């Protein structure tokens, strides 16, 4: 394959995902030297004054951007989103017969619930679904008022299902996986017990997971909880109990600068709405040439999933779609292997202009291929 340069591609990958060009450039500079120190980020000690400043500034920026109340800690942790599947029950369950409530709305919340079963009794809030296309009405929810917490994944990356309202779970602390829609919309942090997000989709590269946790939920970890998953240890050590993924924290800080320069979360929210509606409009006005299985109310603004050539998708047309998109530099549009079809991931770094290019391609592709349906 001929070599491509970054300016000629649009990376619609589901994560790790596109990093804004300005940030890539700053990362390059930081590889050589951070803040005039003469030492690059890859070679800087996590106990150095330079890294200590990066660590603090990054959490300060997150606190300001999300307006995080003073009674919440912001932790920068190892282990990815999957690490939190274990850390959450290990830190939050309480009582002799601990129970936790899980909304299962797709692949990731299903995995989280399975992992939690190792540590507590898991109550599934929703009836079992044959396919993940939305969230059943509140009248069908079975919440347990005695649960230690209620868990949900706000944006299911594989299925393209997103909650657009915060579920009302009464007094039980609400725990949310925002890995794939973090900082794409405004959040009232005070409604949550805990929010977490891996950085590698909306706010940087793989290697750091942001955990925002209310102080009263810290300090109750199971005695067998691995030390690097223990929120108290991490909070007491400002997330530097051991060697963190320093480069990922550095990149996170630079992406946050970029978000601030773009106009903060308000701007990200506006862009997300504009980008995703461009694609959903094409799908909805295609007379069935394109088909999105997700119910309108729960369509993701981050991961637009769709079939080409009808409800089941036409294998040949879908392959052709991927090939032709790739020729135009539009990459990683193939849906997750477990569901097939297409998935366009429109994280913060994807510009409205790039989404527009995909929209134009979808219209042209439909025009040339509609007869083959
Ligand atoms: C919503 C969501 N949660 C959790 C995960 C798991 O993250 P990780 O690969 O960092 O463990 C993913 C991965 O894509 C995800 O999309």
114 has catalytic annotation: no
Catalytic residue among 177, 230, 275, 334: 177
82 CB less than 6 Å from ligand 1? Answer: yes
Q: Can you state the percent helix, strand and coil of the chain, rounding each to 5?
A: 40, 15, 45
CATH of the domain at 366: 3.90.1150.10
What single string gives the DSSP state of each residue in 294-325?
Answer: S-GGGB-SSEEEEEESSSS--HHHHHHHHHHH
The residue whose CA has the least distance to atom 10 of ligand 1 is: 80
Is residue 84's pLDDT more than 80? yes
d(CA 228, CA 133): 35
Q: Is the CB of 52 under 6 A from ligand 1?
A: no
Query: How far, in Å, are 115, 125, 138, 229, 244 from residue 105 at the CA level?
Result: 15, 10, 14, 25, 32
Distance 177 CA to ligand 1 centre (A): 9
CB-based contacts of 9, cutoff 8 Å, min separation 6: 329, 330, 331
Alpha-helical (H) ranges within 117-263 are: 231-236, 246-262
Report whether 69 contacts 215 (CB < 8 A).
no
Domain final residue, candidates 237, 261, 285: 261
Whether 11 maps to a domain, the answer reads no
- State which H helix or E strand residue 81 sits in: helix 80-92
pLDDT tens by residue, 304-313: 999 999 999 9
Q: Using the atom order of ligand 1, give the atom closest to the CA of residue 84.
A: 11
Query: How many domains does the chain divide into?
Result: 2
pLDDT band with cut points at 50, 70 and 90 for residue 6: confident
Over residues 274-284, mean pLDDT = 98
Which ligand 1 atom sits nearest the alpha carbon of residue 83?
11
Token code pair at residue 117: 């079963």
Please indicate, yes or no, whether residues 233 and 283 belong to a single structural domain of this protein.
no
The predicted-structure confidence for 36-45, as pLDDT tens digits, reads as follows 999 999 999 9
DSSP state of 273: H
pLDDT band for 372, please (50, 70, 90 cuts): low
**Are residues 136 and 27 both part of a single domain?**
yes
Q: Domain check: are 364 and 220 in the same one?
A: no
Ligand 1 atom at minimum distance from 200 CA: 10
Joined together, the tokens standing for residue 286 give 């295609």
Same domain, 48 and 173: yes
> How many Cβ atoms from other residues are within 10 Å of residue 99's Cβ?
16
Q: Is 147 among the domain residues? A: yes
Does 140 map to a domain? Answer: yes
Q: What mean pLDDT, rounded, does the chain reach?
A: 96
Catalytic, out of 73, 108, 230, 275: 108
Ligand 1 close to Cβ of residue 108 (< 6 A):
yes
Let me know whether 210 and 75 are in one domain.
yes
Task: Choose the final residue of a domain: 204, 232, 261.
Answer: 261
Task: Establish whether residue 300 lines the binding site of ligand 1, counting it when its CB lies within 6 angstroms of any ligand atom.
Answer: no
Q: Is 110 in the pocket of ligand 1 (CB under 6 A)?
A: no
Report residue 352's pLDDT band, with 50, 70 and 90 as the boundaries: very high
Specify whether 233 is located in the same domain as 304: no
Q: Are residues 306 and 362 in the same domain?
A: yes
**262: Cβ below 6 Å to ligand 1?**
no
Average pLDDT over residues 83-107: 96
Q: In this structure, are 218 and 285 located in the same domain?
A: no
Q: Which of 78, 102, 108 to mutate to test the pocket of ligand 1 (most atoms within 8 A of CB)?
A: 108
250 lines ligand 1 (CB under 6 A): no
**2: confidence class by pLDDT, cuts 50, 70, 90:** confident
Q: CB-based burial of residue 326 (10 Å sphere; 0-12 exposed, 13-18 middle, 19+ buried)?
A: middle
Of 261, 289, 309, which residue is a domain's last?
261
Compute the distance between CA of residue 330 and CA of residue 341 in angstroms, rounded to an integer. 16
For residue range 136-146, list pLDDT tens digits in order: 999 999 999 99
Same domain, 224 and 89: yes
Same domain? 268 vs 245? no
Q: Residue 358's domain spans which residues?
A: 264-372
Q: In terms of domains, do 279 and 336 share one? A: yes
Whether 253 and 330 share a structural domain: no
Residue 1 in any domain: the answer is no
CATH of the domain at 175: 3.40.640.10
Residue 77 pLDDT = 98
């Amino acid at each position: 394959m001929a070599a491509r340069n970054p300016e000629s591609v649009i990376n619609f990958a589901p994560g790790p995902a596109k990093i804004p060009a300005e940030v890539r450039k700053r990362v390059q500079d930081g590889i050589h030297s951070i803040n005039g120190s003469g030492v690059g980020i890859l070679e800087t000690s996590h106990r150095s004054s330079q890294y200590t400043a990066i660590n603090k500034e990054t959490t300060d920026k997150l606190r300001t951007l999300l307006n995080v109340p003073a009674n919440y800690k912001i932790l920068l942790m190892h282990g990815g989103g999957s690490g939190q599947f274990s850390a959450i029950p290990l830190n939050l369950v309480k009582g002799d017969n601990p129970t936790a409530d899980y909304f299962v709305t797709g692949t990731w919340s299903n995995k989280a619930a399975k992992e939690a079963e190792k540590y507590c009794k898991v109550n599934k809030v929703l009836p079992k679904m044959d396919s993940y296309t939305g969230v059943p009405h509140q009248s069908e929810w079975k919440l347990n008022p005695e649960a230690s917490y209620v868990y949900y994944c706000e944006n299911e990356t594989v299925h393209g299902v997103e909650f657009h309202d915060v579920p009302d779970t009464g007094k039980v602390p609400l725990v949310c996986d925002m890995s794939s829609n973090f900082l794409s919309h405004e959040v009232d942090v005070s409604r949550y017990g805990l929010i977490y997000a891996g950085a590698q989709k909306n706010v940087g590269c793989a290697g750091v997971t942001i955990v925002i946790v209310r102080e009263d939920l810290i300090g109750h970890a199971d005695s067998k909880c691995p030390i690097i998953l223990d929120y108290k240890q991490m909070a007491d050590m400002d997330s530097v109990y051991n060697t963190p993924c320093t480069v990922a924290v550095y990149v996170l800080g630079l992406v946050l600068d970029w978000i601030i320069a773009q106009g903060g979360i308000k701007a990200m929210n506006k862009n997300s709405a504009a980008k995703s509606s461009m694609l959903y409009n094409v799908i909805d006005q295609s007379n069935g040439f394109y088909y999105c299985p997700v119910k309108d109310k729960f369509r993701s603004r981050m991961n637009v999933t769709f079939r080409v050539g009808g409800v089941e998708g036409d294998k040949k047309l879908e392959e052709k779609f991927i090939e032709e998109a790739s020729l135009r530099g539009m990459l990683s549009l193939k849906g997750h292997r477990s569901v097939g079809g297409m998935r366009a991931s429109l994280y913060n770094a994807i510009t409205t202009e790039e989404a527009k290019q995909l929209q134009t391609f979808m219209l042209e592709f439909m025009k040339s291929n509609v007869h083959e349906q």
